[in-house]
Structure 1
Amino acid sequence: MVIEILCFYNVENLFLPDQVPIHRMDPTRSGLKNWDERKYSSKLIRLSHVFSLIKKQNGILPFIIGLSEISGREVLEDLVKMDPFNSEYGILHYDSMDERKVDVAMLYDKTKVEIVDSETITFFFEKIKKNTENYDTTRDVLYSKIRYKEKEEVIHIFITHLPSQRERDVNKPKRTFILNEIRKRIINIEAEKIILCGDFNENPDDENLVKILYDDKGEKILENPFLELFHTRNYSTFHLKTGLLFDQILLSKSFFDKTGLIFQNAEIFNSKELSSRYRKFEGRPFRTYAGTRYLGGYSDHFPVLTKFKL
């Protein structure tokens, strides 16, 4: 049986090293404390090791990789040069207008995937604080239409990193608006395969992520295999003592038919090697930073995977 894997991974602030002259005291480009060449190189090695572990465990690399918290194309170029990618993966990335300068992106196996079309979906919101800019921005949604060469199958992919739940969840209306816009676009894509993945900053049973599963007639258009994982207390990230499954991959019902790529299972890739070295935080992701304290880990999220059979 041929297996394919799709992965989404919030990689926690993948920035180029800061280049700040000694005589200047203004904030660094990354916003990370003492983010230098050594720490950047260590981060790349850590991230490439994640995908080596995925390949070792499954015998294959993901053919599609959605990423979030990427600071630009250059960091992706540095990453795909490394083992296990070895420059065999393509990059799909657009700069967004996010205030922190972090974007979503996609890596893809060039031997298996052809990009047919791509674009970003940009959102503007009214500023809450009137004394600043006239509008507020967030991370773009990355849309692509690809052809999976093995079966000459067209797949539509949306990759997102929705606004966070900071400050008593002031951003919930933004997440609702963005997901409603994605839902409209999905409804208009007929009879083809669709993947929606990302860091939604909401759990699978939250109202927004339940609503997006259905069209205006109440008919189901998407399946969320991560709902069952959440109900069985499987988490991709944590806040204080609370486990969260913000990272998810949703699939159109056509992935559950008997042709082409067929859904097999979903999982959180919470390998022990990616977990915290501190007993108090055992089973949680080994972070790069905890606040301003550098820990030297991988990310504050675990990757999530869906597996397909042919």
Structure 2
Amino acid sequence: MEVFSFYNVENLFLPDPKPRHKMDPTISGLKNWDVRKYKYKLQKIAHVFQLIKEENGTLPFIIGLSEVSGKQVLEDLVQMEPFNSEYGIVHYNSRDVRKVDVAMLYDKSKVEIIDSKAITFFFDNENKNTENYDTTRDVLYSVLKYNEMVVNVFIAHLPSKREKDINRPRRIIIINEIRKRILDLVNAGEHVILCGDFNENPDDENLVKILYGNSYEKVLENPFQQLFSTGNYSTFHYKSGLLFDQIILSKSFFKEDHMLSFQRAEIFSPEKISSREKKSGKRPFRTYSGTRYLGGYSDHFPVYVTLGKV
């Protein structure tokens, strides 16, 4: 059995340098983000994967991450237990205004990276007189080999819902581009996994549409649809439970003779990485609530799928 996971780790930044003046803005945008808090955050994230290992008997062989800022934080993370420098990193700096990226970690003893690239999106500003463009986080595309099997992996963190969801048109553009690329791959008989924080739930129109080809044939399966329909969530906005974090697979993973046949999907939410609020129940134990430092893990639960011969 193998585990494929995705985790939005909530603002994993290097420590901020001490400001020259109290009014200087920080790189991270976090209040008093120092070396002690950074190291503690790394320990927390590493601990999550140790817990996943204890739950499944193995570490994930592939890990998609979002909200990481630069490669150094990933290099610091993979040196820690339970990774012990045995995991490789695929990462590109994006042009995101908040300086957060997506990335992939992989077990070097099981996975070979054949190719990778960042898929970058530019959006026209409202001010047509400038040459500037708005940008968002890249989509990370990797081609990897597991044993003799080639798998295409897309990792995304789509633009957030805010200000009456002004970013929805941008999410549509990005999802449509991913869909085109996935259809080309699936039509060529390739295996595809798409994961990420989509800032949309599994039943939203964009994420339903991406499952189908041009002739309305189903080409992808989203096992997180069932979890969402039964009230399971990976993150929250005020009182609303959300399942923005998902792993979507090509239908080839649902064949019984597949080396990596789909077995189950999980939102990983043990008590150790959760906080319990009187009115709203169990939620992710986050690092910050606004500007208030809580010392938790992330404002998202990780998600994963288990794969293997049935």
In the TM superposition, residue 134 of structure 1 has moved relative to its aligned partner by 2.5
Distance (whole Å) between structure 1 residues aligned to residue 55 and residue 22 of structure 2: 47
Tell me the alpha carbon deviations over residues 155-189 of structure 1, each in whole angstroms, 9 at most, x when there is no partner: 00000000000000000000000000000001111
Give the counterpart letter for 1:167 in structure 2: E
Distance (whole Å) between structure 1 residues aligned to residue 6 and residue 172 of structure 2: 21
| SS of equivalent to 1:175 | helix
Distance (whole Å) between structure 1 residues aligned to residue 192 and residue 272 of structure 2: 32
Distance (whole Å) between structure 1 residues aligned to residue 28 and residue 129 of structure 2: 25
Distance (whole Å) between structure 2 residues aligned to residue 229 and residue 126 of structure 1: 37
Alignment of 1:1-310 (within 5 A): 3-23=1-21, 25-128=23-126, 134-149=132-147, 152-189=148-185, 190-257=188-255, 258-310=257-309
Give the counterpart letter for 2:219 in structure 1: I
| SS of equivalent to 1:146 | strand
Contact 2:239 2:280 survives alignment (8 Å): no
In the TM superposition, residue 78 of structure 1 has moved relative to its aligned partner by 0.4
Tell me the alpha carbon deviations over residues 50-98 of structure 1, each in whole angstroms, 9 at most, x when there is no partner: 0010001111000000000000100000000000000000000000000
Give the counterpart letter for 1:93 in structure 2: H
- RMSD over aligned Cα atoms: 1.3
TM-score by length of 1: 0.96
Q: Which runs of 5+ in 2 are unaligned?
A: none
Distance (whole Å) between structure 1 residues aligned to residue 113 and residue 96 of structure 2: 25
Distance (whole Å) between structure 2 residues aligned to residue 129 and residue 302 of structure 1: 38
Distance 1:74 1:204, change over 3 A: same
In the TM superposition, residue 277 of structure 1 has moved relative to its aligned partner by 5.0
Contact 2:277 2:283 survives alignment (8 Å): no
Contact 1:46 1:298 survives alignment (8 Å): yes
Distance (whole Å) between structure 2 residues aligned to residue 25 and residue 129 of structure 1: 29
Identity of aligned residues (%): 69
In the TM superposition, residue 25 of structure 1 has moved relative to its aligned partner by 2.7
